[in-house]
Structure 1
């Protein structure tokens, strides 16, 4: 981007867009077959609670490592460590039901990470944003899981986000057509966008029949639509960040998908929307 020097090098050329690659579909499916049951098991097991907390803690560490590598090329370990400590402090406070302290720790942690980055000649705002970017969805996820009927709502969250992602990929690959935002994400199409939203609504409506979730089909479908929109927004946001920092993928952790951030970018936005929807229904504003 002209005039933008926020990446590793002001003159670094942006990566070329990749075409849809059906040849790695088997790898993507295999990765999903391994990861999805593990995630759902950690979410659904009520006692002990530590598997769910450990899942989030590991995710925080991996996301922070990818963030440091992407945004702090001269000192990735120090920045990653600062982001990890700050985000984990907020997560553990939220887990202990100290929500207000969790938000305060997040802000203080962002300031601390910025000071660390400044001390190693990296951009302070990138480090601070990394804390906010990672900690907010993780705190929301902990809160959502600990709410009444939290397991069902968390499963709803994952189902909607995954459906939006899969629907957008499949429909966009099949129908192609006009691009959604070619400047930052040349592969995404309007057909995929609509397909992803339809899949998210279908997933929401389908999971309205889960015992104890206490949602009508229409309300669940509407929640699926809004969370699906958030999923798409998160995906586009990460595409913009990768273009800004001049990287193709956030990492190579997950075969067929890239880094963990590439896999959960939409989920990170969707969980915030789902937490707000849960709060609204908890207050009795929707049925």
Structure 2
């Protein structure tokens, strides 16, 4: 895929509008970050429902949003295990509701889990007003965004063999390697500059590499899901990117890896 300056400019313009809001809410934490996550959850639920249950998307989007927001708010109140339990139970209820309407239960139940798991973990990472929570959240964004941007730029500029042409014909091995390198570097830099507990720069690079790999996997997985549902983009909310799900698909996988990394650090520190 050739490097197209117009596409780069459109993506950059979209990022210039959306990124400051995300950065400011992340910096502020508390109810501001909760509000950002709740708003994103509603939009993601709508996009998922329109892809997977187009004929009844309003009802399915409402069910998924309620399930995920309940788990998010519970986690925000400091009850992560209960929040995850609500997410699991709610996904089963959502699937049953879809089945009663003659829709595929698995699509709705999986949608609640697919969207809910990463946003619950994001709330857990950022919870409170301490700088450590902020730094771990910044690490997620830095790694995922670096990997995503460099993968696109390197893949567009260098080209070469396709990574997974069946589901994502534009992605290349050169972009994949560029994304992994960017994520590893971002992880090392964040661990050097920020207070990450016992996360040294070397381990930060390793965590960044793992999270960048998850970012690439999340992007490919969403491409496979879109192919399954027969759509090109998850939505048209963001010019140059498609829907919000198209923008955060890699981030959704990366946050799971970074959350696991923080759990290991907390264990090493004797906090859990």
TM tier, smaller: over 0.9
- Give how far 1:37 is off: 1.7
Higher fraction of helix: 2
Tell me, in whole angstroms, the C-alpha distance in 1 between the residues paired with 2:211 and 2:218.
10
The structural deviation recorded for 1:22 is: 3.6
Unaligned runs of 5+ in 1: 1-17
Q: Distance in 1 between matches of 2:88 and 2:140?
A: 26
Matched with 2:117 is 136
How far has the Cα of 1:131 moved from its partner? 0.5
Tell me by how many angstroms 1:213 deviates. 2.4
Counterparts of 1:169-184 in structure 2, within 5 Å, are 169-184=152-167
Tell me the TM-score normalized by structure 1. Answer: 0.89
Q: Secondary structure at the match of 2:193?
A: coil
How far residue 94 of structure 1 moved from its aligned partner, in angstroms, is: 0.6
Alpha-carbon displacement from aligned partner over 1:218-252 (angstroms, at most 9, x marks no partner): 11111110000000000000000000000000000
Residues of 2 paired with 1:216 and 1:51: CA distance? Answer: 30
Alignment partner of 1:234 out of 212, 215, 218: 218
TM-score (norm 2): 0.94
Task: Verify the 8 A CA contact 1:165 1:196 in the aligned structure 2.
Answer: yes
TM-align CA RMSD:
1.6
Cα distance in 1 for partners of 2:16, 2:207 equals: 26
SS of the equivalent of 2:220 reads: helix
Q: How many residues are paired up?
A: 267
Contact kept? 1:68, 1:77, Cα under 8 Å: yes
Mapped contact 2:216–2:250 kept (Cα < 8 A): yes
Conserved? CA contact 2:125–2:133, under 8 Å: yes
Moved over 6 A (4+): none
Task: Describe how 1:50-199 pairs up with structure 2 within 5 A.
Answer: 50-146=31-127, 149-199=132-182
Q: What is residue 274 of structure 1 aligned with on the other side? A: 258
1:162 Cα deviation after fit = 0.1
